[in-house]
Amino acid sequence: MGFLAPWFLAGLAAVGLPVWLHLLKQHKTTPLPFSSLMFFERRVQSSVKHRRLKYLLLFALRIALIVLLALAFARPFVNSTTVASAGGGKLLVMAVDNSFSMRQGDRLERAKSAAAAALSGLRPEDRGLVLAFGSQAHLMGEPSVDPSGLRAQIRAIRPSDDHSSYAELARALKSLEQSARLPVEAHLFSDMQKSSMPPNFADLELGQGASLTPHPVVTQTLANFAVESVTAPRRLYDPKKVRIQATVIASGGATGRRRVSLWLNGRELASNPLDVPAGGRATTEFIGMDAPYGMNRGEVRIDSADAFPADDHYYFSMERSDPGPALFVHTARDGRDLLYYRTAILSSRDAAFTLEAASPDQAATLPLSRFAFVVLSDVPDVPPAFEQALRGYVRAGGSLLVALGPSSAGRKRIPAVDLEIRETRYTSRDAGHFETIATLDASHPSTHQAGAWAGVRVYRSVRIETGTARVLAKLSDETPLLVEQSVGDGRVLVFASTFDNLSNDFPLHAGFVPFVDETAHYLARLDDRPANLTVGSYLDLRSGREPSGSAIEVIDPGGARALTLAESTRATNIALNQEGFYEVRRPNRHNELVAVNPDRRESDFYVIPPETLALWQNTGQGSRAQPAGGTEQERKPLDFWWYVMMVVLVLAVAESLVGNQHLTVDKEAA
C-alpha cells in the first residue's frame, strides 16, 4: 500500500485532541466557601482517579475518526495487478523520414516499401496512422483501419529539402499518445543520421504507453563531399571589390582534390582547385565579379562525383546597383568633419554610398527624396524652407543623422525632431579631463560593436532632453551621447558631439568606420540579411512602410505562387521550405531574390550507433518485453480513499450519537 499525498499524514498529530479532552480536561474543582481550615491537616490528594479514561467508546470513536480522516486525505492506494491480453487495440504509427538526406539513391523508396510491408501487423482492433517528418511531423491522414488507404498515404509521401529532427518525432509521438488514448506502437523508417539527434538526449524520451521500433534503410556511413557554405555580399556596387568565399566539407572518409566553380545566371565565371582533407573542410575565394545590374542568381559547384550530388552546389543571390547618394550638410569653416566622415564612408565594407556635401542654403534647393539619408553636421542656422523640407522628408520615411557641437547648440532645438538642447558640456583637452562611453545599447544596429567604442574620449558634448527617445549610448557623467527618435515613418539619430576630432577623438578610433558604415546602412534601410538562407527559415515580408492591405507576391523555386490572394495581403512572413530561389514582388517595386539551401547537417551521413538506438527504445514504457503466452501483466494503482471517507462519515454519525448520550447522563448527574 502507498499514499498519493503522504504529506497529509501529518494530520495524525490531531489525535492528541481527544486525549486532551478525555484525560487532561476532565478534572475540574469547584471552590466551596468554608469558615476556616486552620484545624485541617495538609495532605497530598491522589490524582490517579482523575487520570483514568472515561467514556472509552466515545474516545475510541474520536481517535478512529481523526486517523481515518488523515488517511483519506493522504489518498491511500494498493497496486492492482491485472492481466491484459496482447490483443488490445493500439495505434500503429508508420513514421517515414522524408528529409533532404533521404534523396540519396533510393533511400526514400526503400523506407516507403518497408513501411507498407509493416502494415501487415495491423489487426482489426488496431488503428493505423502514417506520419512523414523532417524538422516537423506531418500527418498524411486520419487514423484508419483500412490498410489499403494507409498504403496510399505512404505512397503519397514526397521528398523534402528539410532537416530531420528525431526530437520533433518524439514530441509528435507523445502528442499522439495523449490524444488517441491508446498505446502507441511506432515504427521508424529512416537513414538514422547522427546529426538528427538533439543535443539533449532527454528530448528523445517517449511516452509511457509508446514503443519504438527503428527500421534503418542503411547501416553504413556514406563518403560525401558537399559545398557547406558560401559567403557573398547581398549587394554589389563595385565589381572589382567583391569577394566570394566557398567552403567545401568532406565526411565519411572522403578526401581529395575538388574543382570549385563560380556560376552566375547559369554561366561559369571562374574555377579554383581545392584540396579537402578527410573529415575536414577547406575554403577557396573568388575575387571580382562582372555581374549585370539587377537581381542575379549565383551558384558555387564542385565536381565531387560522389553518391550524393544533391549537395554539390550552393545558391546565393546578389543585387547589382549603383551606390546610393547621401547628403552631408555642414558649414565650410573647417571641413574636418566632412573629411573624416567621407573617409569612413569610402572605407566601408561595400562602398554602398556616395557623399554629396552642401551648405544649409544649398541643401534647401535640393530634392531630398533622392538621398538615402541626410547628415546635419553641427549646423548653426537652418533656413526655414530647408527645415520644412527636412521635416517632410523624415515624416515620409526618410532618415536623418544630426551631429551637435558648439555651433548648433545655440539653436536650443534640433531640426525636424522635437528634442530640446539644454546645455553644452565642455572640458579642456589640455587639462586632461574627458568623459568616456559608460553604457552602450549593443542590440541596436548602429552600436552592436560595443567593444569598438572602448577608449573613446569625449571633451565636449551637448546635453539634450531625450523625452521618449531611445538612448543608445551614455557618457560616464550620464550625458546621452547617441539618441534615436522616430518621426512619422522616418528615423532620426542624434549624436551629441561632432565628427571633426575636436570635441572627441572618436574619428581616430577603430570603431568610427564601423559606426559610420552601420549607421548608414540602418538609416538607408538596407537589409543586411545574408545572401542565402537555410530551408526552414522564415522571411519577413513587411517592413511597416507598405500601405495597409497591399499585396506582396511570392514566387517559389518551382515558379508557382507561394501565397494565396488573401494571404498576400495580410501575411507578415513566409516559411522557406524549398531549395532554390524565391522571388518577392512588392507594390513599391522593392523586389527581392532570396536564395535558399538545405541544412548542410543533412550532408553528414554518419549513422546512429546501435547502442544509442537501444537507449532511445528503452525510454518508452510500451517497449518492455511481454511475458510468454501473449499476455502482459500490468500494475495499476487502485485508489480507495472514497471508501475511507464513507467509513469516516459513519464514524462521525456514531460519534455524534454516543456523545449526545454521555452528555445527557452528565446533565442528569448534575
**Domain containing 214 — which CATH number?**
3.40.50.410
Does the reported pTM lie above 0.75? no
Same domain, 350 and 483: yes
Greater confidence (69 vs 525) lies with 525
492: Cα separation from own chain's centroid: 30
- Domain count along the chain: 5
Predicted pLDDT of residue 445: 86
Which of the listed residues 499, 523, 547 is the one where a domain comes to its end? Answer: 523
* Residue 528 lies inside a defined structural domain of this protein: no
Sign of CA dihedral 250, 252, 253, 259: negative
**Domain containing 351 — which CATH number?**
3.40.50.880
Place 309 in a pLDDT band, splitting at 50, 70 and 90: very high
* Residue 630 lies inside a defined structural domain of this protein: no
Same domain, 117 and 11: no
Question: Which grid cell is 449?
Answer: 560593436
Cα 515 from Cα 445, distance rounded (Å): 9
Asked if the model's pLDDT at residue 625 lies above 50, the reply is no
Same domain, 99 and 215: yes
Same domain, 91 and 175: yes
Contacts of 465 (CB under 8 A, 6+ apart): 419, 420, 421, 422
Contacts of 284 (CB under 8 A, 6+ apart): 245, 246, 248, 260, 272, 274
Predicted pLDDT of residue 629: 42
**pLDDT tens by residue, 132-175:** 999 999 999 999 999 999 999 999 999 999 999 999 999 999 99
Cα 523 from Cα 348, distance rounded (Å): 15
Contact 477, 425 (CB under 8 A): yes
Residue 367: name the closest of 416, 327, 331 by CA. Answer: 327
Predicted pLDDT of residue 626: 44
**pLDDT tens by residue, 523-558:** 998 877 888 999 999 998 886 666 667 889 999 999
Same domain, 203 and 275: no
The helix, strand and coil proportions of the chain, stated in percent and rounded to the nearest 5, come to 30, 30, 40
CA dihedral 596, 600, 602, 606 (to 10 degrees): 170
Place 82 in a pLDDT band, splitting at 50, 70 and 90: very low
Per-residue pLDDT averaged across 481-498, rounded? 91
Contact 402, 495 (CB under 8 A): yes
Same domain, 500 and 435: yes
Helix/strand/coil (H, E, C) string of 582-593? EEEECCCCCCEE
Predicted pLDDT of residue 271: 96
Cα 538 from Cα 533, distance rounded (Å): 9
Same domain, 346 and 247: no
Of the given ranges (189-198, 215-224, 459-468, 556-565), which has the lowest mean pLDDT? Answer: 459-468
Question: Which grid cell is 221?
Answer: 556511413
Residue 594: name the closest of 581, 576, 577 by CA. Answer: 581
Same domain, 204 and 316: no
Rg (CA), the chain: 40
Predicted pLDDT of residue 534: 96
Strand partners, 260: 272, 302
Cα 51 from Cα 241, distance rounded (Å): 105
Q: In which residue are the cell numbers 495532605 written? A: 43
* Residue 328 lies inside a defined structural domain of this protein: yes
Same domain, 68 and 99: no
Supply the range of the domain harboring residue 198.
Answer: 87-220+607-625
* Residue 17 lies inside a defined structural domain of this protein: yes
Per-residue pLDDT averaged across 217-238, rounded? 93
Predicted pLDDT of residue 85: 42
Place 649 in a pLDDT band, splitting at 50, 70 and 90: confident
Which of the listed residues 296, 321, 346 is the one where a domain comes to its end? Answer: 321
**Domain containing 248 — which CATH number?**
2.60.40.10
φ and ψ at 501, to 5 degrees?
65, 20
Greater confidence (26 vs 361) lies with 361
Same domain, 335 and 314: no
* Residue 641 lies inside a defined structural domain of this protein: no
**pLDDT tens by residue, 394-417:** 998 899 999 998 888 777 788 888
Of the given ranges (373-382, 488-497, 588-597, 610-619), which has the lowest mean pLDDT? Answer: 588-597
Residue 583: name the closest of 270, 297, 233 by CA. Answer: 297
Q: Which range has the top average pLDDT, 20-24, 266-270, 487-491, 568-572? A: 266-270
* Residue 385 lies inside a defined structural domain of this protein: yes
Asked if the model's pLDDT at residue 48 lies above 50, the reply is no
Question: Which grid cell is 189?
Answer: 523508417
* Residue 660 lies inside a defined structural domain of this protein: yes
Residues making up the chain, counted from first to last? 670
Greater confidence (96 vs 453) lies with 96
Same domain, 200 and 250: no
What percent of the chain shows pLDDT beyond 70?
Answer: 83
Which of the listed residues 473, 500, 523 is the one where a domain comes to its end? Answer: 523
Same domain, 334 and 359: yes
Greater confidence (300 vs 588) lies with 300
Place 630 in a pLDDT band, splitting at 50, 70 and 90: very low
* Residue 637 lies inside a defined structural domain of this protein: no
